[in-house]
Chain A
Amino acid sequence: MDTAPILGVPFVVRVKILCKLTAQEQLVLRQVCKTTREWIDTSSLLHHLPATVLKDNGNKTFTKFLQKRPPHVITELEIENQNCDFLHDPALAYFLHLHSSTITKLSMGRYFTCRIPEEINFYESFVNLKELMLHKISIPSHGEVSSVFPNIFKKLQVLKIGDVKAFPEPPDDSFGATLIPLNLQRPMGLYVWKLIKFCEEIEFLGYPNTAKYFFQAFVDGRGRGEFGMFCDYIQNRKLQHPNKPNLKFCDFLNDNWPPDSKNTLALLKMGNEFGLRYLNVNSNQFNFLSIGSLIKMYDLPKNSGDSILSFKNFNCLITEQLPAVEKICMSASDVNTMLDYSCVFDGPKIFPCLKEIEIVIDLGFNHNSQPQDIYMKAREFRDVRILLSHFFYDMELILLEKENEAVRFYRSVTNLTISFKHLLPNTQRKATPNDLPMEWILKALPLRRLRIDGWTAEPNSYLQLWQGCPNLEELIIKDCENLTDHCFIGNLTHGPGCQNLKSLRRITIEGANTICGLTERTFQMFQKDLGLQPSTFLNRCREMTAMTWST
């Protein structure tokens, strides 16, 4: 061979060789010759590469991406499209040529039912696609509803659907039904089920939020509505495709079903019969009925509750032991102040295997909020505190008595996510540990992984937080605008933050606004004091929205 053999290896082999090198090793290679420098500069051959997000720039979406960022290995792609214009980008074909075969996970802002050949060709090009997320299915409210699906959908293992809406969307959802002819509502509703049934190999279904106006008039022919369709699908799946793997997981994160104990019973029965596990089951589904009494009443096997893996909108009203539940989510917007919290909630006994807790503070302050709105929202914030105090029962009292003692009540919980959403930026109101009883939470959990999203706290609050998590192994900070060097380096009162983060093996900082508050001082601290290595290049920092440091 005339040139050095290593320079002639195909792209896939090059990726295979380089992707396990550390940042330092990649940088050494960068100094060897122009070709190796180009390899490193034009590739994000990084550990744990995050999903590549493409913003919708109409028919320039891919052109702008390819101009701005050099080609690199993309395995997860998110396109935040609002219409089909991106399909007319002249750079689309080149983008697909470069990347479509490595992408296994695709997330689309909107799916337009493949009415035009370009859309179907687009999906068909992802030959190795395993997971598809459609944030919104936009079904045209005029003309015939298409029933053509890309063939690659048949091989999908995971299908997640967000909202299902008519297109164009009515200006106000609440009156939308009146704008869609009645004779179109049924085929539009059926479209989603045709799509789900077409994906005959899916093992994980993210159940859609079918907007109310869509399905109020829609029934399955036997008057049982949407839930009946769901039950039929589960029961027929094995019969229709006996050689294909059965559905194993159903995620109800987006479902919009009204509370109905009959539905709950049907879910438990099907879970038991078909080995189906449920994620993000709405706690309000149970409608004040005990799962245990439902199981007893209908003579179901005792372990029928094991089909539930996680709860959303958790409300502390569950009293029987559910050993299979691994995650619960409590959202501030779902706290029902009318609930009676007088009974004792013995969380560690009810969820002996709980691994993860998510707390979402999603109280929608916005720029137009009137003083009375803010007062009402602040009150709701207090309701969140009541719910949390119930979940972390008696923690407040215990902490008063044994102020400095760490009490690990939920011994199995190692993961905590706290998200602050829609808080008005740049106001005096800060989401600090005083708003949220961080001290109870941290003392009750032996945390190893913490994710904070959208926190606008002061440096001292961060330093207090690190003090409460001495065994933290992974930290993810996203969209926290006030994050600065002081949040890690510390001050006279709290000392260096790194002292409390000695167990850390991985830090990820996401969001351009979060990264820009940090300087090389912090990065050096990660490297020298915590022994973490950068997985991304600082000289590309301005273009980046995420950075990861790991051992």
Chain B
Amino acid sequence: MALVRVISSDGAAFLVSQRLAKRSGKLKTEIETFRKSSDNSEAQPEIRIVTIRAEILRLVLQWLQQHQNDPVLPANQNEQDGRGDAEMGQSQWDRDFLAPMDLGIVMELILAANHLEVKGLLDITCKLVESKITGRTVDEIRTAFKLKSDFKGNEEEQTRLENRWCVEN
């Protein structure tokens, strides 16, 4: 089985099958580039991901492993208007996978899925973040996402007044 060595930003190496790695758009391109530039067809590609730390890379590979037999969706599937469709791929396993994670990890996972071009993972993580906004009050959102109000003077009140036509109806 052809393997590829994927190295995280903090130096941890993961040995995965090329078949699995190619389910990531970014890794697929890297493997193909390596093949074209390498004289030895048997050589094992080594890909360094400088923006993703080991803990997150492990989660991405775990998700890919679980979904290795899923059909590969084109990058623009259901995105003609810029939107994805998380519901299509979300399973009980996905829900259990995401459940113990705090929002900080989820955000890092989103960045990793976006960087590695793993559409299914990006869809479900974005969906999770969206669910943390849906139905919440302003303060609840601030707490959940560790955001602080940086409005000055009566800016916050002004914003609330601008929203009144919709929020209070």
Contacts and interface: CB of A to CB of B under 8 A. Distances in A.
The finding on whether chains A and B are genuine partners in a shared complex, rather than unrelated, reads yes
Interface of A: 1, 4-10, 12-13, 15-21, 23-25, 27-37, 48-49, 73, 75, 102, 104, 128, 520, 524, 527-528, 534, 537-539
A20 B138 contact: no
Interface stretch (B8-16, B39-47, B93-101, B141-149): B141-149
A97 to B, nearest CB: 17
Contact of B163 (A17, A31, A102, A527): A31
Given A13-B114, A520-B165, A33 B107 contact: no
Given A7-B147, A75-B82, A31 B156 contact: yes
Contact of A5 (B82, B107, B123, B151): B107
Interface string B145-169: 1111111000110011011011101
A21 B110 contact: no
Interface in B110-127: 110-111, 114, 122-123, 126
Nearest to B137: A28
B104 interface: yes
Interface stretch (B17-25, B26-34, B62-70, B128-136): B128-136
A291 to B, nearest CB: 36
Nearest to A34: B150
Contacts of B103: 5-6
A1 B145 CA distance: 13
A27 B103 CA distance: 22
B150 to A, nearest CB: 5
B162 A539 contact: yes
Q: Please name the 3 residue pairs, one residue from A and one from B, whose CB atoms are nearest each other, closest first.
A: A5-B107, A27-B163, A73-B82
Contacts of A4: 145-147
Nearest to A22: B134
Interface of B: 76, 80-84, 103-104, 107-108, 110-111, 114, 122-123, 126, 129-130, 133-138, 141-142, 145-151, 155-156, 159-160, 162-163, 165-167, 169
Among A7, A18, A28, A104, the one with the most B-chain Cβ atoms within 10 Å of its Cβ is A28
B126 A32 contact: no
A9 B141 CA distance: 16
Contacts of B138: 28, 31-32
11 contacts: A4-B145, A9-B107, A12-B82, A16-B82, A30-B159, A32-B142, A34-B150, A34-B151, A34-B155, A75-B82, A537-B166
Contact of B136 (A1, A15, A18, A28): A28
Given A10-B114, A27-B163, 9 more contacts: A5-B104, A9-B114, A16-B84, A27-B166, A28-B138, A28-B141, A31-B138, A33-B149, A36-B147
A527 B169 contact: yes
Contacts of A25: 133-135
Contacts of A528: 169
A16 B80 contact: no
B114 A28 contact: no
A13 B166 contact: no
Among B103, B146, B147, B156, the one with the most A-chain Cβ atoms within 10 Å of its Cβ is B147
B159 A31 contact: yes
A28 B130 CA distance: 13
B147 A28 contact: no
Given A6-B107, A31-B159, A524 B169 contact: yes
Given A24-B166, A31-B163, A538-B165, A75 B107 contact: no
Nearest to A12: B114
Contacts of A534: 166
A23 B122 contact: no
A17 B145 CA distance: 14
A340 B41 CA distance: 77
A35 B126 CA distance: 18
A104 B148 contact: no
B110 A15 contact: no
A117 to B, nearest CB: 28
Contacts of A49: 81-82
A520 B164 CA distance: 12
Nearest to B82: A73
Nearest to B134: A25
Among A9, A31, A48, A538, the one with the most B-chain Cβ atoms within 10 Å of its Cβ is A31
Contacts of B151: 33-34
B80 A75 contact: yes
A7 B129 CA distance: 12
Nearest to B164: A27
Contacts of B166: 23-24, 27, 534, 537-538
B162 A33 contact: no
A23 B165 CA distance: 11
Among B81, B108, B123, B155, the one with the most A-chain Cβ atoms within 10 Å of its Cβ is B81
Nearest to B148: A33
Contacts of B76: 104, 128
A528 B168 CA distance: 12
Contact of A17 (B81, B126, B147): B126
B149 A32 contact: yes
A16 B141 contact: no
Contacts of B141: 28-29, 32
A37 to B, nearest CB: 6
A16 B82 CA distance: 7
B91 to A, nearest CB: 19
A31 B160 CA distance: 7
A186 B86 CA distance: 53
Contacts of A520: 165
A10 B126 CA distance: 12
A342 to B, nearest CB: 49
Contacts of A36: 147
A16 B126 contact: yes
A548 to B, nearest CB: 13
Contacts of B114: 9-10, 12-13
A537 B166 CA distance: 9
Contacts of B111: 5, 8-10, 13
Contacts of A539: 162, 165
B147 A21 contact: no
Contacts of B130: 17-18, 20-21
A385 to B, nearest CB: 41
Contacts of A16: 82-84, 122-123, 126
B149 to A, nearest CB: 6
Nearest to B144: A6
A5 to B, nearest CB: 3
A47 to B, nearest CB: 8
B64 to A, nearest CB: 19
